[in-house]
Amino acid sequence: MRDQLNAAIKDAMKSGQKARLLTLRLINAAIKDRDIAARVDEKGAATGKDRVEDQDILALLQKMIKQRRDSIASYQTGGREDLAEKEAAEIVIIEEFLPEQMDEAATREAVEKAIEELGCGGLKDMGKTMAHLKERYAGQMDFSKASGIAKDALK
């Protein structure tokens, strides 16, 4: 994934796509920040990890997309369509590095399967269900939608 990102940065530089290059550099900076954070645990002790794994990068990219969607809603409420369009363009670029996203039917099926596998019986098992889904479907699933489906299924 890092190689793919670096190649995209080089291509954007060569082709003069400034907006794309800025977004790709933001992604790269966020990954490097996560790499640095992964070197120590919450107590400050060394973890022995130099880099985060691809699964962590996928989660980071999804978080970046969620942040931009929230920003779009705020900008549209404030009448700043220009900024909303900029955020939407960044989402398109970030999504290039994610695997194909599951549609609602596939998400519903995965949630129901996870609930069955884990033997969940109520809303108290919501955290366990979501942790299982995040571990198994990182980068492939919109977890805000999955959370709503899981909540309905666990009632």
CA-to-CA separations, 130 to 65, 82, 150, in angstroms, rounded: 19, 35, 8
Question: Is the predicted pLDDT of residue 56 greater than 90, yes or no?
Answer: no
Average pLDDT, the chain: 89
pLDDT band at 48 (very low <50, low <70, confident <90, very high): confident
Q: What is the pLDDT of residue 153?
A: 83
CA 134 to chain centre: 10
pLDDT band at 79 (very low <50, low <70, confident <90, very high): very high
Q: What is the pLDDT of residue 150?
A: 87
For the stretch 99-122, pLDDT in tens is 888 888 888 898 889 888 888 878
Q: What is the pLDDT of residue 47?
A: 76
For the stretch 123-154, pLDDT in tens is 888 888 888 888 888 778 888 888 888 888 88
Q: Using H for helix, E for strand and C for coil, what is the string for the chain?
A: CHHHHHHHHHHHHHHCCHHHHHHHHHHHHHHHHHHHHHCECCCCCECCCCCCCHHHHHHHHHHHHHHHHHHHHHHHHCCCHHHHHHHHHHHHHHHCCCCCCCCHHHHHHHHHHHHHHHCCCCHHHHHHHHHHHHHHCCCCCCHHHHHHHHHHHHC
Q: What is the pLDDT of residue 64?
A: 94
